[in-house]
Chains A and B, each alone.
Chain A
Amino acid sequence: MAITPFDEMLLPDGSPRPTQEGMYETLTGLGSEGLSERARQRDAYLDRHGITFTLGERERPLPMDLVPRLLTSDEWTHIEAGVKQRLRALEAFLSDIYGPGQVMLDRLIPRKLVTTSSHFHRQAWGIETPNNVRIHVSGIDLIRDEAGAFRVLEDNLRNPSGVSYVLENRRTLAHVLPEVFTHHRVRSVSEYPERLLEALRAAAPAEVRHPTVVVLTPGVHNSAHYEHAFLARNMGVELVEGRDLYCRDNQVWMRTTSGPEPVHVIYRRIDDEFLDPVHLRGDSVLGVPGIINASRAGQVTIANAIGNGVADDKAVYPFVPAFIRYYLNEEPILPNVDTYDLSDPDQRTWVLGRLEQMVVKPSDASGGYGLMMGPSATDEQLANVAQEVQANPRGWIAQPVVTFSTCPTVVDGGVLAPRHVDLRPFAINDGTQIFVLPGGLSRVALPEGSLVVNSSQGGGSKDTWVIDDTTPLGYLPDAAQYDLMTPPQPVPEEVSRRHDAPAMHDDRMVQQERQQQQTAAPAMEQPC
């Protein structure tokens, strides 16, 4: 464990990397007092705007660090290409296993591994999506290893959350710490809601010309409700709950004051299991009975598609590089992290022999729940995990501990200290192209030395910048834009002139003021 993590801002000798010199100076110039003051302003801002997530019973602001994380355009080009490639392969995999199943016939992945995934839903078999997209929105988690190379840690193809924090972090940072923006041109993230709406519209059933899109939320008690409301508001669509919708004749309707209105695309932020009590969990009060049949009938599009979870199952994850070669005939751009398949007896024995050096994760969970970090676990925890793995090998995977890269982070007392970060770039597939939002969510593990970044486990976030270093600061691409400065018809003086209360500039007012004070006012000039 003596491996030094990759520091994204500082070189091993402690000086800043050349791309980050300006940022480094600004931050050190503020000093710990300045940073503490800004941290207070940030908390006030987040509280006031109600930018929160719910953890347990409490609603709290997502801890946003004041130090942004920088990615150069070269790094970004690499990440973007890798994410797109991986998504194309995963899309192909999903439509394969919910269709012909060729990948299993070719024995690339055991059929048993796919069908035993708790997120594989037979109910979704044979459903064809209108534009062949199943992963409308994804968030693939990346980390940077000791050498600084990006690797995929896990795929999130169901309901990845956090994109609202990407947008809010940018606004918040510009609000409370505008100075740090001085040295760079940062690629904007604000187009996300627009892109998402376009992609959702593009996913509508083919014959619908003006599709109605809705966001389906479990309700205000969900941990990501803030994000659901954020997306609905910024796309200008209805935020609905299951009880607002119903199905009739394989068509989904929403109840409105002007009667039922048809719904064509549902961006759902509720889990598969709760979506349709007819086919899945019968006791679900969050879902809409009949929605899967409507989707099979091609009358409504559910985004993301049902059953995507099989492709981000952690036991399927080790096969993804093979999928990339199989479906795309390409070499993976972003490598995986080494992963041991615990259903294989040899690998299992090997892993169980050195559990204290491993990270063991439940294969079907997300959010860092159930995860065990070998090096920091107690003997009792190790024994428990060993027992559980023996009992249900399919339910677990093991990975060697990977030391993520670190970024300077403001900790208690306004001090900068390195903390581990990961990166979740968000991608939207509209059927013709995949758009990867420049930047994404950097999550930071706030306790010293911690490698667990999930917000449900005490992680924070960082504003993540993709630097546009292709054009210099303050450069207008088109000189003609300068003409904009002369309005087509100049505003006439009588309009642009400020109108003021006459008393404001009146000499008499000054006299009045003095005399009202009843002080020694200069004598009024006598009219001749």
Chain B
Amino acid sequence: MLSRIAESFFWLGRYVERAEATARLLAEHHQLMVEDRSVPEPWACRVLLDGLSMPTAGVETPHALVRAVVGGELDSATITGAVSAARLNARAIRDSLSQDTFEALNSAHLALSRGIAFTASPGVALHRVLERLLVVNGIVDWTMPRDEAYHFMVLGRELERIDMVGRLLGIRLSELWPSSGPPAALRAAGALSAYLRTGQPMTANEVRRFLVLDPAFPRSMLCCAADAEEAVRGLQRLGVSESGHLLREVGMLRSQLEYADTPTADQVEYFVADARRAAVRASDEIDRAFFRQHGTIVWSH
């Protein structure tokens, strides 16, 4: 397939995931700030913005925080920006997407651009956006053939997911809000029910370990790495060459997480940083191997 098309699929996967994870995170963070006012507001705002690599200046209230993170089309770290970027990529490959997928994405984009997120109760508005993004993933799941495009999209989604789980853990909700933080972190990853079923105690370290190393929860870093690896193998099965380095990168990450001894809290910390680094390298490698094969320009007569 065309590199340009593959690249758009990859980034579509990334941006949809980024928008969704950021919206969940914002909803939970906002709820924590409102419900438990023990942490000074400017402080709580800064923590989230830092974690999302966004500028922190001038954002000091829950409402301002919502505005900042919902953001605008120009900054792809914000929810609006990520949805908008996803849509831009989807437009370029509109012919290869099912009509439903584009429609769902479009309605998320429209909802945001109409500014519904700026109502005073952001949870309500964020929910609408999340719902539409879930529809996008749902439709992709049951309408897209498992071809190259699909594998590129999954790769994008899983690498972004590793990055976003890393950011979530970097924000340390559990230490700012000792009692309500751990369940909020789980909720932000959609993992609360899954975690409760394990019967583990609701402590910061156990929650962190779960989000990094749980072998069954689809948003744990381990599962993301395993799914990314599976996507690369899928590409190989379809005869895409050039995936050797990439397979090595995601495979090493997966096996490191999978076969780790029960690690201490510090080691989990190390795994998080390592996984994020590996995700960055994998993304660069994908870019190099598939999208930007800079051949030498040969002039001929």
Which A residues are closer than 8 A to B by beta carbons?
Answer: 38, 41, 44-45, 48, 170-171, 174-179, 181, 184-186, 188, 190-191, 194, 233-237, 471, 473-477, 481, 484-485, 487-489, 491-492, 494-504
Contact = CB atoms under 8 A, between A and B. Distances in A.
Q: How many interface residues does chain B have, given as a range? A: 35 or more
A474 B40 contact: yes
A186 B76 contact: no
Given A237-B199, A476-B38, 11 more contacts: A171-B31, A174-B123, A176-B121, A176-B123, A178-B123, A179-B120, A181-B37, A474-B38, A484-B175, A488-B269, A501-B15
Contact of B89 (A38, A44, A191, A501): A501
A235 B196 CA distance: 7
Contacts of A500: 76, 85
B269 A236 contact: no
B131 to A, nearest CB: 9
Given A176-B123, A487-B170, A495-B273, A181 B34 contact: yes
Given A476-B38, A484-B172, A489 B120 contact: no
Given A496-B53, A498-B77, A44 B124 contact: yes
A236 B206 CA distance: 15
B36 interface: yes
B39 interface: yes
Given A170-B35, A179-B120, A233-B196, A485 B47 contact: yes
Given A38-B121, A500-B76, A190 B180 contact: yes
B256 interface: no
Interface string B119-151: 011111001000000000000000000000000
B31 A174 contact: yes
Interface in B153-209: 163, 166, 170, 172, 175-176, 179-180, 183, 193, 195-199, 202
B210 interface: no
B276 interface: yes
Closest 9 CB pairs of A and B: A236-B196, A175-B123, A474-B40, A501-B11, A178-B34, A495-B276, A174-B34, A484-B175, A181-B34
Contacts of B280: 494-495, 499
Contacts of B37: 181, 184-186, 473-474
Contacts of B124: 41, 44-45, 175-176
A170 to B, nearest CB: 7
A422 B120 CA distance: 30
Contacts of A498: 53, 76-77
A177 B176 contact: no
A427 to B, nearest CB: 19
A174 B54 CA distance: 25
A504 B273 contact: no
Contacts of A488: 269
14 contacts: A41-B121, A175-B124, A178-B120, A179-B120, A181-B35, A185-B38, A188-B35, A236-B196, A474-B41, A476-B39, A477-B38, A494-B280, A495-B273, A501-B15
B245 interface: no
Contacts of A188: 35-36, 179-180
Interface string B61-74: 01000000000000
A485 B53 CA distance: 15
A236 B39 CA distance: 29
Interface of B is mostly: helix
Looking at B7, B38, B163, the one whose CB has the most chain A CB atoms below 10 A away is B38
A171 B41 CA distance: 19
A29 to B, nearest CB: 11
A502 to B, nearest CB: 8
Contacts of A48: 127
A475 B277 CA distance: 36
Nearest to B30: A178
B55 to A, nearest CB: 12
Nearest to B195: A236
Contacts of B287: 502
B35 A174 contact: yes
A410 to B, nearest CB: 15
A503 B291 CA distance: 12
A497 B193 CA distance: 31
A175 B273 contact: no
A177 B120 CA distance: 8
B283 interface: yes
Nearest to B198: A236
A212 to B, nearest CB: 10
Interface in B229-278: 269, 273, 276-277
A175 B31 contact: yes
Interface in B1-47: 7-8, 11, 14-15, 30-31, 34-41, 43, 46-47
A489 B273 contact: yes
Contacts of B41: 474
Looking at A48, A473, A491, the one whose CB has the most chain B CB atoms below 10 A away is A491
A294 B193 CA distance: 32
B220 to A, nearest CB: 17
Nearest to A197: B199
B111 to A, nearest CB: 15
A494 B277 contact: yes
A495 B277 contact: yes
Nearest to B62: A178
Contacts of A235: 196
A153 B257 CA distance: 57
Nearest to B166: A495
A499 B202 contact: no
Contacts of B172: 484, 487
B196 A234 contact: yes
Nearest to B43: A485
A496 B88 CA distance: 24
Nearest to A474: B40
Contacts of B269: 488-489
B193 A233 contact: yes
